[in-house]
Structure 1
Amino acid sequence: MKRLFDVLVSFVLLVFCAPLFLFLVLVVFLDIGRPVFFNQQRPGYKGRPIIVYKFRTMHEMEADGLLGIGDAERMTRVGRFLRSTSLDELPQLLNVLKGEMSLVGPRPLLMDYFPLYNRRQMRRHDVLPGITGWAQVNGRNNLSWQEKFEFDIWYVENRSFLLDMKILWLTVVKVFKREGVSSQGHATSVRFEGNDK
Structure 2
Amino acid sequence: MKRPYDTVKRVLDVVLAATGLLLATPVLAAVALAVLVTMGRPVLFRQARPGRHGRLFHLVKFRSMTVGGEAGAPVNDGARLTPFGRWLRTTSLDELPQLWNVLRGEMSLVGPRPLLPSYLPRYTREQLRRHDVRPGITGLQQAYGRNALSWEERFALDVRYVRHRSFALDLRIVLRTVRIVLRREGITAPGVATAREYLGPPALATAVGGRGSAEGGR
The TM-score normalised by the length of structure 1 is 0.96
Instruction: Check the 8 A contact 2:189/2:196 in 1, yes or no.
Output: no
Aligned to 2:107: 101
Instruction: Check the 8 A contact 1:124/1:156 in 2, yes or no.
Output: yes
Partner amino acid for 2:33? Answer: L
- How many Å separate the matches in 2 of 1:17 and 1:187? 27
Aligned to 1:71: 77
- Aligned residues between the structures: 196
**Deviation per residue, 1:31-77 (Å, 9 max, x gap):** 11000000000000000001000100001127x74763211110000
1:80 alignment partner, one of 78, 86, 93 = 86
**Deviation per residue, 1:141-187 (Å, 9 max, x gap):** 10001000000000000000111111111111111111122362532
Q: Is residue 194 of structure 1 aligned with residue 174 of structure 2?
A: no
Q: Is residue 133 of structure 1 aligned with residue 139 of structure 2?
A: yes
Partner amino acid for 1:80? Answer: R
Instruction: Check the 8 A contact 2:189/2:195 in 1, yes or no.
Output: no
Gap change, CA 1:121 and 1:183, over 3 Å in 2: closer
The worse-fitting range, judged by mean Cα deviation, of 180-189 and 71-80 is 180-189
Unaligned runs of at least 5 residues, structure 1: none
SS of the aligned residue for 2:140 comes to: coil
Aligned to 2:25: 18
Aligned to 1:147: 153
- How many Å separate the matches in 2 of 1:173 and 1:159? 20
Moved >4 Å (runs of 4+): 64-67
Aligned to 1:117: 123
Taking every aligned residue pair, what percent have the same amino acid on both sides? 49
Aligned to 1:60: 67
**Deviation per residue, 1:83-138 (Å, 9 max, x gap):** 11111100000000000000000000001111111110100000000000000111
Instruction: Note the C-alpha offset of 1:8.
Output: 0.9
SS of the aligned residue for 1:181 comes to: coil
- How many Å separate the matches in 2 of 1:26 and 1:182? 26
Unaligned runs of at least 5 residues, structure 2: 1-7, 206-218
